[in-house]
Amino acid sequence: MSTRRDVEFITNKIISGFSVTQADEIPKIDLYMDQVLTFLAERLKRTARKSEADKLLTKTMINNYVKNKVLIPPVKKKYGRDHILLLMVIYYMKSFLAIDDIRRIVEPVSEKYARPTTKSAEHQTGKKHRYSMSDVYTEVFDHVSTNVERFPSEIEKILEETDVAFLSAPEEDREMLRRFNVICQLSADIYLRKLLIEKLLDETQMPVAAEPGRNSRNKT
């Protein structure tokens, strides 16, 4: 059992299986709930711990997001492209943030840029100098892709430190302790990042986008 070998193998497997869905890959028609769930399941299945057993997103979850104003309501039971873009964002937050925190993050952006139907979203995008939810999503996930590329090198730094850890421990226990060390380091990193998000929400306010043609310094 080699902690380094296992971690490197799993890291490479995660990176090779992770791909960001581009905004132009979202269906250009409005979808019913079952169609939304099928599309998201296909796109996100590689991120699930158990791809067949885990429920990535469910009808109950989506209805709850709408109820709690995390997601804009559907129109006549149909969901547009902006709904799906928002659900992709929400999916990556839901495993470590409370629903109210997700609402506080997403709501200012969705209120400003998200449109309830594909037709209305495309109309907005077609207007000169108008920013759309697709623009927001693309910008965010371009940066996500860059961070994903850095992930293996960050893990390598942890492994380098782990390789020289527990040298004084009994030889038969070293790999077990090194694996424990890797998990603790990753857990601390997750905790600190989650804490930073929570403090940003608790101690500051999400900036509200200015109305077009209005100077933000003149806001009351």
- Look at 172 and 53; give whichever has higher pLDDT: 172
Percent of the chain having pLDDT more than 90? 68
DSSP, collapsed to helix, strand or coil, labels residue 32 as strand
Query: Rounded to an integer, what distance in angstroms lies between the CA atom of residue 127 and that of residue 7?
Result: 48
| CB 125, CB 26: distance < 8 Å | no
pLDDT at 103 over 50: yes
Query: Rounded to an integer, what distance in angstroms lies between the CA atom of residue 90 and that of residue 175?
Result: 37
Looking at residue 206, what is its pLDDT?
64
Whole-prediction pTM value? 0.83
**Which region among 64-78, 110-124, 144-158 has the lowest average model confidence (pLDDT)?**
110-124
- Look at 127 and 105; give whichever has higher pLDDT: 105
Looking at residue 219, what is its pLDDT?
39
pLDDT at 76 over 80: yes
Which positions ≥6 away from 126 have C-beta within 8 Å?
none
Looking at residue 100, what is its pLDDT?
95
Looking at residue 214, what is its pLDDT?
43
pLDDT average, residue stretch 15-41: 91
Looking at residue 123, what is its pLDDT?
66
From residue 67, give the alpha-carbon distance in Å to each of 64, 117, 165, 211. Answer: 5, 18, 49, 26
User: What is the 3-state secondary structure of 78-134?
Assistant: EECHHHHHHHHHHHHHCCCCCHHHHHHHHHHHHHHHCCCCHHHHHHHHHCCCCCCHH
DSSP, collapsed to helix, strand or coil, labels residue 75 as strand
| CB 73, CB 116: distance < 8 Å | yes
Looking at residue 121, what is its pLDDT?
75
CA atoms within 13 A on the CB side of 19: 11
Average pLDDT of every residue of the chain: 87
pLDDT at 24 over 80: yes
Query: Rounded to an integer, what distance in angstroms lies between the CA atom of residue 165 and that of residue 168?
Result: 8
Looking at residue 29, what is its pLDDT?
94
